[in-house]
Amino acid sequence: MRFLGLAICFAIILGAVLQIGVHLFIDINAALFVLGGASGFLVMKNNPSNHTKNFAQGAVYFGWLGSLVGLIAITGNRFMVWGDVEKMGPALAVAMLTILYGYAIKLVSIAFSED
């Protein structure tokens, strides 16, 4: 039942993604930031009985941290988008992807964790 629930959750998310456009939801740097941070958090916690939960928790933390880093880069005008409405929209979307990736990883981790 656990994997059926996971499949239903991802079917709903996939439906929304397909409706909006898949290309908006793919960013390798955001994915690497979240996966790398989650891996580091897992190593830092060093608790073999809770590896899955620690990885999920790290993914969410680094999802939020990635968004903050992205927002700081945007408002600090690192990518020369501040004030340009046409460029700020995509930049904000990429900044928010890390949150989506973090929670998606947590959702999968919940399905694989032992209760």
Per-residue model confidence as pLDDT tens digits over 11-45: 999 999 999 999 989 999 999 999 999 999 999 99
- Reported as a pLDDT band with limits 50, 70 and 90, residue 90 is confident
Instruction: Compute the mean pLDDT over every residue in the chain, rounded to the nearest whole number.
Output: 89
Angle, vertex CA 98, rays to CA 53 and CA 20, nearest 5 = 120
pLDDT tens digit sequence for 58-67: 999 999 999 9
Burial status of residue 30 (CB atoms within 10 A of its CB: 0-12, 13-18, 19 or more) = buried
Please give the pLDDT value at position 18. 93
* 3-state SS track over the chain: CHHHHHHHHHHHHHHHHHHHCHHHHCCHHHHHHHHHHHHHHHHHHCCHHHHHHHHHHHHHHHHHHHHHHHHHHHHCCCCCCCCCHHHHHHHHHHHHHHHHHHHHHHHHHHHHCCC
Percent of the chain with pLDDT over 90: 59
* Domains in the chain: boundaries: 25-112
User: Residue 115 has what pLDDT?
Assistant: 63
The band of 101, judged by pLDDT with boundaries at 50, 70 and 90, is: very high
Longest dimension (CA), the chain: 49
pLDDT value of residue 99: 97
pTM as predicted: 0.86
